[in-house]
Amino acid sequence: MTSDKIKKIVLAYSGGLDTSIILKWLQDQYDCEVVTFTADLGQQEEIEPAREKAAGLGVREIYIEDVREEFAREYIFPMFRANAVYEGEYLLGTSIARPLIAKWLVKIAESTGADAISHGATGKGNDQVRFELNAYALNPEIKIIAPWREWELGSRDSLVPTLTSTGCQSMIVSHIPWMQIFYISPTRVVSSKTLGYACRHYLAVDCFAPGCAE
């Protein structure tokens, strides 16, 4: 996407490495104001650090919305009622949140007069489709910027020196130096932890629920 005509962008911002790099990249590449939106889906201690990082990167409009009740009522419960299970195991624990985040991105873009929205989904997975099709369904005219499909950085390993070069080295390791994502299934709970971006070591832990067959 060309940078002309883009004056303001609303970014789905988690405060992590990817979206912090994306935030700085959008500011530089599009030379425009970037508004951040962080959805409070129950991630607890990750919310305030996201606000602080966005402010540290010069963001003036920071939106953090508590969408936990809306998420449970309009997404989680209907998902359970529909027995929406992917490949017989995965209960869409992370992907089901993408339509809700897209909804709020469009809502904030319209209320702030933003020209575009942006997300941190890679160009290889399904999250990019979830974000973008839901956004277009709500506003067919909205512009969507997907940095992972535009920039030359090919992997997360390449993000670390990029962030360091921007003078934001202190943001490489956050308050909690690992990312935790839970995948809930009828048979087991799988926890995947990334231990420190600097050391680049990865640990995957399978936590089997009591009483469930392995």
Is 198 a residue whose pLDDT tops 60? Answer: no
User: 8-169: what fold?
Assistant: Rossmann fold (3.40.50)
pLDDT score, position 43: 87
Q: What percent of the chain has pLDDT over 70?
A: 68
Q: Is the pLDDT of residue 151 over 80?
A: no
Residue 54 backbone phi and psi in degrees, to 5: -60, -45
Cα distances (Å, whole numbers) of residue 138 to 10, 37, 73, 132:
15, 17, 20, 10
Q: How far apart, in whole angstroms, are the C-alpha atoms of residue 117 and residue 21?
A: 16
Which residues share a beta bridge with 10? Answer: 35, 117
3-state secondary structure of 121: coil
Is the pLDDT score of 100 beyond 90? yes
Give 48-84 pLDDT, tens digit per residue.
Answer: 999 999 999 999 999 999 999 999 999 999 998 998 8
Segments making up each domain of the chain, as ranges: 8-169
Give SS3 for 167.
Answer: coil
Lookup: tokens for 110: 């319209």
- Specify the range with the lowest mean pLDDT, choosing from 134-148, 159-173, 186-200: 186-200
CA–CA separation, 33 and 116 (whole Å): 11
**For the whole model, what pTM was predicted?**
0.74
**Section 164-177 average pLDDT:** 50
